[in-house]
Amino acid sequence: MTPMLDTLQPGITLVLNDGGDVSDFGTSSSRRPAGEIPLHDAYSRAVMRAVKRIRPAVVHIEVEHAPAKRGLAPRTSTGSGFVISQDGYTITNSHIVAGARYLEVSLPDGREVEAELVGDDPETDLAVIKLDTTVERFAKMADSAAVEVGQVAIAIGSPYGFQHTVTSGIVSALGCSARTQGGQLVDNVIQTDAALNSGNSGGPLVNSAGEVIGVTTSLVMGTQGICFAVASNSAQLITGWLIKEGHVRRSRLGVAAQNLAIQKKVVKQLALQQETGVSVTAVEPQSAAQKAGVKAGDIIIALGHTLVKGVDDLHRLLTGFESQKTSITVLRNAAKIDLSIQPEAV
């Protein structure tokens, strides 16, 4: 009988026999002899292509810190990073390089070069260092707003000193809040089940095109398959400030938050100009949000006169924001409430 065909994507076809078993897998332009087992499936090819594109930009960082006490040997640590410009600007994690007195970076081409700390931001666990050399290949940043749950996520870094180790999985959740290894609460992170280990920190999390969708930053200790990366859009905003000023000027509300779709009936009933907002999952005691009357379960939809459709919007509005009174609009029990708030300078 004629085999059934199920098209997976352009140019790739899954051929099933009458019993429903996979009998061959290949491309429309290349047919294998009957019974020959393919060397690589579509998933493997996607991962390999992505790794080939991002690997030339991924670096291994060795850090030397001042000794804890006089007379002791300097403290050393390692981590990962990735180059984002031809002149050597490189993204990594704050907890890796903060306070470093010496940085040495190993590049994929075998070179070992010194680097200097440009700036770091403990609030997002991001940092920028600059290599004492130029490079030919550097990473391309993707739009993290276009990332979807279930898509392929590939991490590459130097866990336990094994350089350019690759792990892959999927995007498990978006718009989460998570604590970094340094204890800071970071919003708008991507959760993935791609295995991350000590040393992966600071490396890129990429999509199947080899574009950076996040900066790997932490894992939940004592669990399996729960790892996090700061979304690329947030990373670009923060690293821009670090390169420009060496630090990030910002204010904070004191909430843990994540993106949320607003019920359609509420959007229609209140004639809202948006379909998404920022759901408050927790409010810190004595914070600006608590003093303003913001409660867990509220959905933030505006700060001042600017709509807030997601955590990215909130971060952008608070970055560079001078600590002054403004309004915050939230949805609570299908009602729109305006509150007066004074974000705290960080």
Domain boundaries, the chain: 1-38, 55-131, 144-245, 251-345
Average pLDDT of 319-323? 72
pLDDT for the residue 321: 72
pLDDT above 70 (res 320): yes
Q: How many helices (H) and strands (E) does the chain have?
A: 6, 23
Of the candidates 24, 120, 121, 125, the residue annotated as catalytic is 125
pLDDT above 50 (res 303): yes
Of the candidates 144, 201, 232, 251, the residue annotated as catalytic is 201
Report CA 163 to chain centroid distance, whole Å: 20
Q: Kindly report the number of other CB atoms within 10 A of residue 35's CB atom.
A: 7
Average pLDDT of 89-116? 92
The predicted-structure confidence for 188-227, as pLDDT tens digits, reads as follows: 789 999 887 777 789 999 999 999 999 998 655 555 567 8
What CATH architecture is 144-245? Beta Barrel (2.40)
Q: Is 247 a catalytic residue?
A: no
Q: Please state, in angstroms and rounded to a whole number, the distance separating the CA atoms of residues 201 and 125.
A: 10
Q: Please state, in angstroms and rounded to a whole number, the distance separating the CA atoms of residues 196 and 218.
A: 8
Asked if 209 contacts 53 with a C-beta cutoff of 8 angstroms, the reply is yes
Q: Is 201 a catalytic residue?
A: yes
The secondary element (H helix, E strand) that includes residue 240 is: helix 232-245
* 251-345: CATH number: 2.30.42.10
Q: Encode 294-314: b = buried (16+ Cβ within 10 Å), e = exposed.
A: beeebbbbbbeeebbbbbbbb
102-106, 157-161, 278-282: lowest mean pLDDT where? 157-161
Q: ∠ CA(193), CA(223), CA(55), 5° rounding? A: 35
Output the average pLDDT for the chain.
83
pLDDT for the residue 110: 87
Asked if 259 contacts 279 with a C-beta cutoff of 8 angstroms, the reply is yes
pLDDT for the residue 175: 79
The predicted-structure confidence for 117-169, as pLDDT tens digits, reads as follows: 999 998 888 999 999 999 999 999 999 989 999 999 999 987 655 567 888 99
Asked, colleague to colleague, whether 55-131 and 144-245 share their fold, the answer is yes
Q: Which of the four pLDDT bands, split at 50, 70 and 90, describes residue 40? A: low
Q: Which of 58, 56, 59, 235 is nearest to 147 (CA)?
A: 235
Of the candidates 94, 95, 120, 121, the residue annotated as catalytic is 95
pLDDT for the residue 295: 96
Asked if 182 contacts 201 with a C-beta cutoff of 8 angstroms, the reply is no
The predicted-structure confidence for 15-35, as pLDDT tens digits, reads as follows: 333 344 333 334 444 455 555
Q: Which of 49, 238, 202, 214 is nearest to 147 (CA)?
A: 214
Average pLDDT of 109-122? 92
* 55-131: CATH number: 2.40.10.10
pLDDT above 80 (res 323): no
Percent of the chain whose pLDDT exceeds 70 = 82
78-92, 244-258, 281-295: lowest mean pLDDT where? 244-258
Q: Is 95 a catalytic residue?
A: yes
3-state helix, strand, coil in the chain (%, to 5): 15, 45, 40
pLDDT above 80 (res 6): no
Average pLDDT of 175-183? 68
Please list the residues that pair with 256 across neighbouring strands.
Answer: 282
Percent of the chain whose pLDDT exceeds 90 = 55
pLDDT for the residue 33: 59
